[in-house]
Every structure is written in C-alpha cells, then in structure tokens.
Amino acid sequence: MSLQFLLTKFLRGAMTLLLAVTFVFIVLRASGDPAQMMLSDEASPESIAAFRARWGLDGSLVEQYVTYLSAIVQGDFGDSFRDGRPALQVVVERIPVTLQLGITALLATLLLGIPAGILAALHRGKWIDHAAMSFTIFGQSVPNFFLGIILILIFSMTLRWLPSSGTGSFWHLLMPALTLATATAATVARFTRSSMLDVLHQPFMRTAKAKGIPHDRRVLRHALPNAAIPVVTVVGMRIGGLIGGAVTIETVFAWPGVGMLLVNSVNQRDLAVVQSVVLLIALTMVVVNLTVDLAYGWLDPRIELHNKKATA
C-alpha cells in the first residue's frame, strides 16, 4: 500500500470532516443568534455574556469560524443546557449502547446477507434464489419503523415472547437488531448474489473444477474472495444507512442510545448535543470510508494501481 494512496484517502476524510464542521457552523450562524439558540431561555445576562466571549461572537465571521474550529478540534462542543454538562460527554456516554445495537445489526447483516446471496447465486433460478430475492425486495421496501412496530405487535403484544423496549438482555437486543439489519441484509444479499454470479462464470472457476477441487472449496476459497470487493463496498456504503436507521429504530424500541438522544435533543432544541452527535457521526463515517478504502487495497492490489493511474 503506497504512501500516496493512504495520503489521498486521508486528506479526503479530513476534507469531509472540515466540510461537516463548516456545515454545522453555517447552519448555527444562519439560524439566529447562537447565544440565544444554544442557551436556555432562562439564561442570565452574565452567562450569555460569558458565552459570547467564549465563542468570540463579537468578532468577525472569520474570527468566529476560527474560534469555533479550534474549540471543536480541542473537543469542546459546548454544554448541554439540560444538565449543564459538556455536550460531548453526554453523547459519549450513550455510545456503548448504540454500538451494541449497531454491531449486532452489522453481524446480522453479514450472517444473513452473504450466505443468502451465495446460496441464491449457486442455485440460480431455483426456489432458494426466488425466496432470497423476494426477501431482498421486501427488505428494501419496508420502512424500518413500520417493520419494528409490526414485530412489536406480533412478538411483544400478541405472543408476549419478547420485550418491546429497553435494554438489558439478549432478548431486548434481538428485535431492534434484526429490524435494523433487514434493509442492509437485503442489499448485501443482492450484491453478493450478482457478484458471485459474475465470478462463478469466470474461466478460472472452470479451471478449478477441471483440477478436481471439491465444490465447497471452490466456492469458499476461489469464488468468494474474488466476489468480495463489491460486497465490501456495499457493506461500507450501508453503514451510513445503519446509523441513520438506528435513529428511528432506537426511538421505536426505546433503546437509550445516541439515536434516541439525537431525537430528544432535536425536540428540546438542545443544540450543543445535536451538533456533537452530527460531528461524531461525520467522524464515524469518515473512519468507515477510510477502512473500506484500505480494505480494497488489501483485497485487490489492482485498485490501488488503478487509482494511481487515475491521479497521475
């Protein structure tokens, strides 16, 4: 992996982050006086004055931008006006709960999507294929909050098998994670299938068969790694969808994570917390995209070469 490749990707990520910070800055300034927006209505004149001094609100826009940027870089995202604690801290506390949901959903996505896609490709045109593809159409069209409510109605209200909300056990995690995973798993299955179909018809697969390599080994060791790249891309792309989906799913299942915090903070206009969540999500997305790009370079060295040619 060349240094230039890494550097280009890294700069791109940094650029996206800067854009995100700038976006929040512009929105905050365009929407009114930040001192009135960020502090509660009952804020004393002293605390408003202190706020103005701290964020350099009496300087020019450029000065304000620089002050804002340096504060963000130092991890100062302002204070939540609900409990006066640093907004970043309020958000960070919620991260483990959200990660628990997100990672379970990601695992479910991979464990459902990839095998479904492989099976559909291997049995192309048979009932397995049709069942898997019907599932993907369903999964891609059903709104996640509707699916969540239907599941609650069936498994919590009618059958009384699973808890409808809250955290604590595996059983609490099951419905939110599966609901969140459905749409992503559907997309992953679809891409895995088409990618596998492409690879299965490559000449090297025939060669492998001619060499007498057993079927399972051919599929898992020869076809799958070659089919992996589009799948990695789509998994990377869908992580944004998982994060966005987590916001609604956490609200549906009263899962006390970052998503629910965001919705509540938007409702109460706790803007310091809102901006912290947005910037943290931007950071997450940048890290995810970087990881996907690095995974490419590792899965298929040709991509890096191709990139080099394109930039040269």
Partner 1 sequence: MSSLDLSPVAGQLRRHSWLTRIWKARPPVVIGLCLGWLALVVIAALFAEFLAPFGFAEQSLLTRLKPPALMGGPAQSLFGTDDLGRDVFSRVIYAMRTSILIAIMATVIGATVGTALGIVAAHFRGWVDDVIMMLVDFQASIPFLIVALAVLAFFGNNFLLLIVLIGLFGWDGYARIARGLVLSTNGQGYAFAIRTLGVHPAKVYIRHVLPNMLGVIMVQITLNFPEIILLETSLSFLGLGVQPPGTSLGLMLGEGRNYLTTAWWMGIPAGAVIFLTTLAISLVGDWLRDMLDPNLGNKDL
Give the dihedral sign, CA 229/231/232/236: positive
CA dihedral in degrees (52, 40, 43, 86; nearest 10)?
A: -60
**Segment lying near partner 1 (by CB under 8 A), choices 42-50, 51-59, 170-178, 193-201:** 193-201
Between 213 and 242, how does the x/- string for binding to partner 1 read (CB under 8 A)? Answer: ---------------------------xx-
Q: Site for partner 1 (CB under 8 A): which residue of 266, 295, 299, 303?
A: 266
CB-nearer residue toward partner 1: 39 or 286: 286
CB of 1 to partner 1, least distance (A): 21
Residue 90 within binding range of partner 1, rule CB under 8 A: no
Residue 119: name the closest of 229, 224, 239, 234 by CA: 224
Q: Site for partner 1 (CB under 8 A): which residue of 14, 53, 150, 287?
A: 150
Coil/strand/helix, residue 253: coil
- Residue 40 contacts residue 273 (beta carbons within 8 Å): no
Helix axes 170-200, 127-141, angle to 10 degrees: 120
Q: What is d(CA 164, CA 252) in angstroms, rounded to the nearest whole number?
A: 9
What's the N-to-C CA distance of the chain in angstroms? 16
Q: Site for partner 1 (CB under 8 A): which residue of 78, 235, 271, 296?
A: 271
CB of 234 to partner 1, least distance (A): 11
CB-nearer residue toward partner 1: 80 or 275: 275
Structure token digits, residue 156: 């919590």
Give the dihedral sign, CA 282/284/288/290: positive
Residue 289 within binding range of partner 1, rule CB under 8 A: yes
CB of 124 to partner 1, least distance (A): 7
Range 46-65, binding partner 1 (CB under 8 A): none
Only one residue has tokens 């409990």, namely 83
CB-nearer residue toward partner 1: 198 or 300: 198
Q: Site for partner 1 (CB under 8 A): which residue of 179, 286, 304, 307?
A: 286
Residue 183: name the closest of 124, 127, 128, 112 by CA: 112
Phi, psi of 74 (to 5 degrees): -85, 5
The total number of residues written for the chain in this structure: 312
Residue 27 within binding range of partner 1, rule CB under 8 A: yes
Only one residue has tokens 């340096």, namely 70
**Segment lying near partner 1 (by CB under 8 A), choices 48-56, 82-90, 195-203, 296-304:** 195-203
Residue 143 within binding range of partner 1, rule CB under 8 A: yes
Q: What is d(CA 52, CA 67) in angstroms, rounded to the nearest whole number?
A: 11
CB within 8 Å of 308: residues ≥ 6 apart: 2, 4, 5
Residue 89 within binding range of partner 1, rule CB under 8 A: no
Range 244-263, binding partner 1 (CB under 8 A): 244, 247-248, 251-252, 262-263
Q: Site for partner 1 (CB under 8 A): which residue of 35, 149, 213, 303?
A: 149
Task: Name the site residues for partner 1 (rule: CB under 8 A).
Answer: 12, 15-16, 19-20, 23-24, 27-28, 30-31, 37, 124-127, 130, 137-138, 140-143, 145-146, 149-150, 152-153, 157, 190-191, 193-194, 197-198, 200-201, 206, 209, 240-241, 243-244, 247-248, 251-252, 262-263, 265-267, 269, 271, 274-275, 277-278, 281-282, 285-286, 289
